[in-house]
Structure 1
Amino acid sequence: MPSTLPDGDPVPSDGSLPPTALVGVGERPLGLYVHVPFCVTRCGYCDFNTYTAEELGTTPGASRATYADAAIDELRMARRVLGPSAPPVATVFVGGGTPTLLPPEDLGRILKAAESEFGLAPDVEVTTEANPESVDQAYLDRLRAEGFNRISFGMQSARPHVLATLERRHTPGRPEQCVAQARAAGFEHVNLDLIYGTPGESDDDWQASLDAAVGAEPDHVSAYSLIVEDGTRLAAQIRRGVLTEADEDVLADRYLQAEETLRRAGLTWYEVSNWARDDAARCRHNLLYWTGANWWGVGPGAHSHVGGVRWWNVKHPAAYAARLAEGVSPAHAREVLDLDTRRVEQVMLELRLAGGLDVGVLDEPGRAAARHAAADGLLEPAHLADGRAVLTLRGRLLADAVVRDLLGWGVQEASARS
């Protein structure tokens, strides 16, 4: 969850949605995101809405001990807002922060509340993120007993100096141990998160991280290029010249390394930054995001989307808990997405998927741009002939540029410059 919130329109105190947003709500999958905003320390590159114990102090309502109760209060509000037509929850994703700073039983209470309010789909996917240093075998055993069946470990790198630059606290080798422990606990699916492009990271460093990740035999790997966010300690170090930011060519080379290594290990891309062993290992919760489905975001700063309405909660845990204690929606603001905005977001997100984008979503200039992209080796010609815009490997490296062309933004930018 980003640390800043956009402006938007006011939200009714009871959190109610426009009637149009609820039309057909029972016919679309519903995901639940739970944001746990607590961390032991903040990593130097992190811009998420997180708080350390020192930052929160003794502020009423900001305690880890009371967080699950506040989250459950929001779930009850969600039930009232979505009404009796809401479907059972198809996916649950607990992110942070460091969710595993909470006792497994607290995370389990939130899951049980979701089941009580909405019901859970028979094949529900229940994921939590975890920092490797925050769990052990006993914790993972208890978490699995609470109903979690998928876990995502923040590995980031296998090299000590890269972890030090990122200010990660775990030691190399610990994430791989976590994968084995999660398997022993009975988790069906395990992901490792990697970051490439850290200042000071070499080709060999990145290859070592990839080799360590695939050697642990997770069935899912995510690999993201490092984004240097304004206001972070990392950004300040780069601005002062202490560290040097990786350039676009280096990031492209790192991505190609990832594709080659993960493909050889039997992991296939299904979204630009995500690879899975098979269809069952794909993160179904993230697929809800990428395909514009409905999800309710619980927690401070959490974002939600239902039926073309997007809203976001107040950031601070104390303000969040206080609103819920008063029976008031914790939402800070919202926006009702018009059809053009929804189309733009569909192009931006679905083009990143291996299944591609239905070219019928594009206007005629966009379809012409798709044909040019295929001729330039950025889209798969065979898929385009079947009405799907699917990125090639080279297209994945230039995905943002392809999106701009399909939406006509490249033409607009060129016209503005001329």
Structure 2
Amino acid sequence: MAGPQPLGDPAPADGLLPAGAAVGAPERDFGVYLHVPFCRVRCGYCDFNTYTATELRGVKQSDYASQAVLEVEAAGRILTDSGLPAREASTVFFGGGTPTLLPAEHLARMLASVRSVWGIAAGAEVTTEANPDSVDEAYLAHLAGAGFTRVSFGMQSAVPRVLATLERTHDPERVPLVVRWARDAGLDVSLDLIYGTPGETLADWRASLEHAIAQAPDHLSAYSLIVEEGTKLARQIRRGELVQPDEDLQADFYELADELLAAAGYSWYEVSNWATDDAHRSRHNLAYWRSQDWWGVGPGAHSHMGGVRWWNVKHPAAYADRVLSGLSPAAGRETLDDATREVERVLLRSRIREGIAVASLSPQGRHEVAGLIADGLIDGAAAIGGSIELTLRGRLLADAVVRRLTD
């Protein structure tokens, strides 16, 4: 289970938002995130808000879709009553946990509720995450028929020893099968990889990248493993059972990923994400990095509307109690001040290839541009043209770039 909730103000029981949330809303995209908080087993590295069957305190997975639909319906009323304009969902994303532990018809029902309450824009991106061993050909065909357009498979590695350390349960040879089934159903495909697992070598990582590229996905994500406090993996490292890779090796992993993916025709568009072309970038995740609006449905889900951010109660039992009682499941919220919004804008937008307009930075931020060029952290030609764009070295040191642009 994830760590503690953020600090914030109590959220009202009716869920109504302050008037400021509506300011500028017609110019912002609107997306919906649906969190499915169930996993068959808990991976040792995972710090997400997920629960196995023994941790549910009597809550039934089979009831979850109905509860999520109740929140979607309430959300529609809350946004209207808070003065937000009617907007169709331009992206919908089912994350977890493992959304595909639920029957396909349950995911379809949840998606249908989004369509009924808000509408789904023509050409919208509709994604679900999935484990390779949680779907079959019929399941993926059902999703496509219900309006899903994209599936993101948690491949993580192609090396059985690495998967065992991560406590992933699928066979690497399952990945080509599920990719083919998704393609046959007409779904776009993304593969998620993790690098830096204790004991993983550069040769292991190369094998995983080559195996992923061989499947010709439309999109690839490569995330550095973060050892979160409170996880089984953190305890194993603390006891000396596993050794965490050093930062230099992590950098080598990233540089190899960028090299092999570029050679295979993939372009980076965010520090940890590559796509075959602009059309196959994750539009839902881009909305996060561009500070657009989204409603997060489910236990522990976070939402954002016009600088107002809130988060739901974490446990599925508490969530069920709230929505079945007609109360907002929000546990807390915060309204970001101008200074915080500016830091977040730079933090998020600097991670994406389109970058940040130099003219939009503070005077101190603009003063740092020449030094960042000299240090090889941002592209000099792009900066002269008016845009902050990270170099490969800058992507490796993105946090340092942000600090210099915002301090």
Output the amino acid matched with 2:302: H
Contact 1:154–1:175 (8 Å) recurs in 2: no
Give distance in 2, aligned partners of 1:346 and 1:27.
16
Structure 1 residues 198-209: aligned runs within 5 Å: 198-209=197-208
Query: Partners of 1:185 and 1:138 in 2: how far apart?
Result: 9
Q: Secondary structure at the match of 2:32?
A: strand
CA shift for structure 1 position 77: 1.2
User: Quick one: distance in 2 between partners of 1:196 and 1:229?
Assistant: 15
Is 1:67 the counterpart of 2:64? The answer is yes
1:158-237 alignment, distance < 5 Å: 158-187=158-187, 189-237=188-236
Most deviating of 62-71 and 22-31: 22-31
Residue 347 of structure 2 is matched in structure 1 by 348
> In the alignment, residue 61 of structure 2 is paired with which amino acid?
R
Question: CA deviation digits over 1:257-284, x for unaligned, max 9?
Answer: 0001100111100000000000110000
Counterpart-to-counterpart distance in 1, 2:337 and 2:234: 35
Distance in 1 (CA, whole Å) between partners of 2:161 and 2:380 is 43
Equivalents in 2 of 1:167, 1:70: separation in Å?
Answer: 30
Distance in 2 between residues matched to 1:24 and 1:378, nearest whole Å = 33
Paired letter, 2:225: L
Contact 1:288 1:294 in 2 (8 A): yes
How far apart, in 1, do the equivalents of 2:85 and 2:55 lie?
41
For the residues of structure 1 that align with 2:360 and 2:303, how far apart are their CA atoms?
Answer: 24
Q: Percent identity?
A: 59
CA contact (8 A) 1:200 1:244 kept: yes
For structure 1, the residue ranges without an aligned partner over 5 or more in a row are 409-418
Runs of 4+ in structure 1 over 3 Å off? none
The residue aligned with 2:373 is 374
- Aligned partner of 2:77 in structure 1 is 80
SS in 2 for 1:75: helix
SS in 2 for 1:266: coil
**Is residue 25–residue 87 contact of structure 1 (8 Å, CA) maintained in 2?**
no
For residue 268 of structure 1, what is the aligned residue in structure 2? 267
Aligned length: 404
CA displacement at 1:375 relative to structure 2? 1.5
Q: In the alignment, does 2:126 pair up with 1:133?
A: no
State the AA in 1 paired with 2:377: L
Name the residue aligned to 2:22.
Answer: 22
Whether the aligned pair in 2 keeps the contact of 1:343 and 1:361 (CA below 8 Å) is no
- Superposed displacement of residue 76, structure 1: 1.0
Q: Alignment partner of 2:152: what SS? A: strand
Note the residue ranges of structure 2 that are not aligned, 5 or more in a row.
none
Q: CA deviation at 1:382?
A: 1.1
* Maintained 8 Å contact 2:2/2:50: no
- Partners of 2:56 and 2:294 lie apart in 1 by 28
Contact 1:25/1:86 (<8 A) preserved: no
Change (3 A) 1:107 1:3: farther
Alignment check: 8 A CA contact 1:89 1:118 kept: yes
Is the CA contact 2:34–2:297 (under 8 Å) kept in the aligned structure 1? yes
- What is residue 416 of structure 1 aligned with on the other side? none
Q: Deviations over 1:337-382 (max 9, x none)?
A: 0011010001111001110111233222211112210122111111
Aligned to 2:360: 361
Match of 1:53 in 2: 53
Q: Deviations over 1:222-279 (max 9, x none)?
A: 0000000001110000000010001110000000000011001111000000000001
What letter is aligned with 2:76? R
Aligned equivalents of 1:105 and 1:123: distance in 2? 22
Q: Within 5 Å, which residues of 2 pair with 1:395-414? A: 395-408=394-407
Q: CA deviation at 1:4?
A: 2.6
In the alignment, is the contact (CA less than 8 A) between 2:39 and 2:52 conserved in 1?
A: yes
CA RMSD of aligned residues (A): 1.1
